[in-house]
Structure 1
């Protein structure tokens, strides 16, 4: 995989205040693929003192957006789901890695694996996107 960041992903991240607030770092990217990470902070926790599920979901959703748009066709989420498999705590570093299952003309399907710093699976995410037919300008 390429250490150079896809220009579409770079532009998307620069225009994405929420991913910036989460501290998303793009580790690798290729067309249809990306690997991103965040470090869990105190303000990302819920009333039980563990990482809010919405943060893990949002990390996976950002990975989906970056990977699906990296082909340069504007792609929008149609449906997403997630299964949480392990608790996430303050200080944990999460990595979301995409797998492109289908790259169709109008529909794309992706699986996103979210692991912690010990490479333990903390969530599995699946997303379907609609390809609008419009192209990104970089």
Structure 2
């Protein structure tokens, strides 16, 4: 099976801070799974640089801590991720938890105080709306 995977979880330095979110348990499980992994970073695909200012969802918009509206870039990245899912026939994705793009079930609340609320990032929401099952680094075992 082809699976979309947040590139930062695979150790690719595309996180907003310029680092990654490599997850050793996930990497080990994926190596042994036999699945084909399709790396995806919606923020980068949407045209944002690495590093970039942190951003959080504020209702239907995505804003940086300084108040810049980056919703268009996040939407463009979500569409690119959906296009990859369709191109490769991905029915599942493992995305970075709590992210304004990739968060599934919980995201940061838009106050930049590390408080989480129920909700999905723009990419996770779009993938789910199009029939892709979304997991994160804490829930991937249910997929594998």
Q: Which has the higher helix share?
A: 2
More strand by share: 1
User: TM-score, normalising length from structure 1?
Assistant: 0.29
User: How does the TM-score come out when normalised to structure 2?
Assistant: 0.28
